[in-house]
Structure 1
Amino acid sequence: MPTNNREQPQKEHLRRAMRGLAGRMSADFGASSPLGDSLTKGGLREEDTVAAFRPYLPARYSMVKGVVINSAGEESMPQDVIIFDTNAIPTALGGGNTRAVPVEGVVGVVQIKSQATSGQIKSAVANLASAKRLLSSEPRYGYAPAGSHQTSMQSTSASFFSGALFLSKRGKIETLASSYANAVLGVDRRERCDALCIVDKLAVLWGNPSEGSGVHFCFRGEQAETPLIIDARQDTLLFFYLTLMEHLANWITPPVRWMPYAFGPGSAGTRSPVEFKYGYWFDENDPPKWAPNGGQ
């Protein structure tokens, strides 16, 4: 008969794992500090974070540094981490260290910075918004990965996850939290950052206090009333991770139209996207109505 002393550790496996991950991230950041605020340090910071997070994401998701693009030819500001669904798009476009990822395959973007300041927080919020606004607001239909409890097809127009992750801070927590709240409430609802984490210091998610007493989390900023400031200390990264996972569990993938990405905007319509000669085959003895001269 199992004893009770095993129950509590089992319940806290994920919590301990995130605390351990936060500790490793802080240690990696400390090891890179002698490099100063250089591009090399930034690259190491992002690479270390991606490597640390990789075991905690489902295998179908990949992570790259780059820009988010859409079929209209628009692109986001550079993103430190783009999380995309390899079931929706096979790979990121381009080569080298920076990739271009079609927005239909994106499930999350993250800004990773060494130090949280009011200026850096505002910059991160604006950067993330530049990616989220690229996704069409048209409703899409399907079944979310965690939708096995649903009895019918679901619809949504929600945008993907965005988060700002800082490895340290400069300034008072209250000041930084206020700077973040003012920044995210100042952008379009659909472009809101969904989670802020200052490792081992502060987590800011979203909530709906009008629902009653107690804590009422809302993992999507665009559907929430106001930022929810959590003095989580060692569990800051856990709340950030849980918000990301809620997004992934409830995500409905948009349809991908590849023609505009290959031939440019407008190529998905009735006009020809190609610049070479082409023709449709038909039986001249029994021509269809769309044939030259209307099949006459």
Structure 2
Amino acid sequence: MSEISLSDLYSNMQAEMLQTLHTGSVPFAHSGTKGDNTEANWIAWFKKYLPARYAVDKAIVIDSGGKCSQQIDLVIYDAQYSYMVFQQQESKLIPAESVYAVFEIKQNLNKDHMEYAQEKAESVRSLIRSSAPIQHAGGQYKPKPLHEILAGVLTTKSDWTAPIAPNVVKYINITSHNKRLDFVCSVSDNTFVIDNNIFVSQYDASKTPTIRFCEQNDSLVFLLLNLLKRLQDIGTVPAIDYREYASKIDSKYYKVM
């Protein structure tokens, strides 16, 4: 029986991913334009490599109470059951129930950018999420328990001198439920992931997580495979309870005589 080298496959895949990520990347004099270009490349990268059941966009996340998150550079959300994706001028508004993961995108990895990504994550995770019962031919399923929304920061390079692992591990906030980062990627250095042994059902702050990382040559493949595993663990997002959103519409009852 012939064998195939997974290492070779991963190396080829990494090279292809790098090409996708850097397609159209040219230096811009204006830093804001350069940042927008980097965000667009990462969004295109996720759209290419994630299954079609997931949608990817820059967006603001909202809840049924009208509260909203900060602007999120990259949101991975449900593409099959998310009927309520609003457009407000240039921004997409995505219901919190539909969100799988959120990422902050920066050129360089450093302490400030990691803390900024943690604040962005907290602004999403603190929103209210509903979960409605699901009807099926034989009756009704109970509301699905709310999943843990994943979060991370994506960068091209690091401000820290290699090896960067001690600094990254130091600044991953693993004790705060809403601020923790599950993924930290510096394409030219390493990708770090928090093992999901503390996410079997819900986040357990009493458990000490294992932080795994790979080397530069596999940074994007490692990110993708671990993200796919975590998305697989989540399964499907909960059914939105549309009554919660409808309750904010001023309506009246009319009694039929």
TM-score bucket of the superposed structures, by smaller chain: 0.7 to 0.9
CA distance in 2, matches of 1:83, 1:112: 13
CA deviation map 1:179-236 (0-9, x unaligned): 5543412522x542211110031121124xxxxxxxxx64849356235142422112
- Name structure 2 gaps, 5 residues minimum: 135-141
Deviates more, 1:166-175 or 1:52-61: 166-175
Paired residues for 1:238-257 under 5 Å: 238-251=221-234, 252-257=236-241
Q: Flag the 1:199–1:10 CA change in 2: closer, same or farther, 3 A.
A: closer
- Residue 171 in structure 1 maps to residue 171 in structure 2: no
Q: Flag the 1:242–1:222 CA change in 2: closer, same or farther, 3 A.
A: farther
Aligned residues: 246
- Residue 41 in structure 1 maps to residue 41 in structure 2: no
Kindly indicate whether the alpha-carbon contact (under 8 Å) linking 2:60 and 2:91 is maintained by their aligned counterparts in 1: yes
Deviates more, 1:250-259 or 1:96-105: 250-259
Match of 1:200 in 2: 188
Match of 1:228 in 2: 211
CA distance in 2, matches of 1:135, 1:202: 34
- Structure number with the higher strand fraction is 2
Kindly indicate whether the alpha-carbon contact (under 8 Å) linking 1:104 and 1:254 is maintained by their aligned counterparts in 2: yes
Paired residues for 1:10-49 under 5 Å: 13=9, 16-25=12-21, 27-28=22-23, 31-38=25-32, 40-49=33-42
- Structure number with the higher helix fraction is 1
Match of 1:258 in 2: 242
Q: Flag the 1:240–1:177 CA change in 2: closer, same or farther, 3 A.
A: farther
Q: Flag the 1:158–1:243 CA change in 2: closer, same or farther, 3 A.
A: same
TM-score of the pair, normalised by structure 2: 0.79
CA distance in 2, matches of 1:229, 1:90: 36
Letter of the aligned partner of 1:22 in structure 2?
Answer: L
The structure that has the greater radius of gyration is 1
Letter of the aligned partner of 1:121 in structure 2?
Answer: M
Q: Flag the 1:62–1:158 CA change in 2: closer, same or farther, 3 A.
A: closer
Stretches (4+) displaced over 6 A = 138-142
Q: Flag the 1:132–1:238 CA change in 2: closer, same or farther, 3 A.
A: farther
Match of 1:159 in 2: 148
Identity rate of aligned residues, in percent? 20
CA distance in 2, matches of 1:91, 1:10: 40
Paired residues for 1:72-221 under 5 Å: 72-90=65-83, 92-134=85-127, 136=129, 156-174=145-163, 177-179=166-168, 181-188=170-177, 190-207=178-195, 218=197, 220=199
Q: Flag the 1:91–1:234 CA change in 2: closer, same or farther, 3 A.
A: farther
CA distance in 1, matches of 2:226, 2:6: 21
Kindly indicate whether the alpha-carbon contact (under 8 Å) linking 2:172 and 2:181 is maintained by their aligned counterparts in 1: no
Q: Flag the 1:159–1:78 CA change in 2: closer, same or farther, 3 A.
A: same
CA distance in 2, matches of 1:113, 1:171: 14
Instruction: Name the Cα RMSD after superposition.
Output: 3.3
Letter of the aligned partner of 2:213 in structure 1?
Answer: I
Per the TM alignment, residue 247 of structure 1 is displaced from its structure 2 partner at its CA by 2.4
Per the TM alignment, residue 96 of structure 1 is displaced from its structure 2 partner at its CA by 4.1
Match of 1:278 in 2: 253
